[in-house]
Amino acid sequence: MPEIIERLKVDDAREVTAILGQAEGPSSGWTFIYAPGASSGVNDPFGEYACRFLAERGFAAVRFQFPYVEAGQKGPDRPPVLEATWRAAIAAYREEGRRLVIGGRSMGGRIASRVVADGASVDALALFAYPLHPPRAPDQWRDQHLPSIQAPTLFCSGTRDTFGSPDELRQAATKAPRSTVHLMEEADHGFSVRKSSGRTRQDVYDEAAGAFVGWLEALKV
């Protein structure tokens, strides 16, 4: 799959790396933009796999990293910078005549959801391993903005995710008016599985990407 490495300008002081995967074969009519979790960058394994999976199915697929990763820093940028990076990506990769779905894994998806709740115009939102609350702080839910999300939203998480149990995720998803929940058996927050499950991380990647495409195909947008 042909990929193009680009520079995405966030503001006058910041640029980040973005990788554009061009659609192969018949066009799906969709563009997908993906951001990684807090500990990953533009080559986040799930993001790389998902974008290539989608490009093979006619999607334009973009993945990018946040400024702190670009600068080699460990701690995430403050929310305004993370949100500004998402807005820059949406502005840069929105194409006339194509539908736009954005999202990401963990923090990347959470920040995407905040931007959409704040009014960014997208056709769909995909949240992989949404970090509903810190693992050791189950009372600190990150769901206050969900009622403001008007785009169809997919929550795709594992049943062993310590950032939100299946019941907690279902409960939170009811606050997003047009939500769907897909749960992956035995997967944890990083989409790893126990050997005793009989599954592999690749099985989880395949399930997540397949569920995502199936959900998009069923949308009426």
Residue 2 is predicted with a pLDDT of 77
Mean pLDDT for all residues in the chain: 96
Quote the pLDDT of residue 35. 98
pTM: 0.96
- Rounded mean pLDDT of 49-74? 96
- The residue ranges of every structural domain in the chain are 3-218
Give the mean pLDDT of 145-170.
98
Instruction: Say how many Å lie between the first and final Cα of the chain, rounded.
Output: 28
What is residue 220's predicted lDDT score, i.e. its pLDDT? 67
Q: How far apart are CA 109 and CA 142, in angstroms?
A: 12
Mean pLDDT of 57-62: 95
pLDDT at residue 91 above 70? yes
Report whether pLDDT(221) > 90: no
Structure tokens at 152: 């169809």
Residue that the structure tokens 């929105």 belong to: 94
Inform me whether the pLDDT recorded for 169 exceeds 70: yes
The pLDDT value recorded for residue 1 is 58
Identify how many contiguous H helices and E strands the chain contains and give both numbers.
6, 8
Mean local confidence (pLDDT), 191-200: 95
Class of domain 3-218 as given by CATH: alpha beta
- Per-residue CA distances from 143 to 135, 168, 197 (Å): 15, 11, 31
Mean pLDDT of 69-75: 95
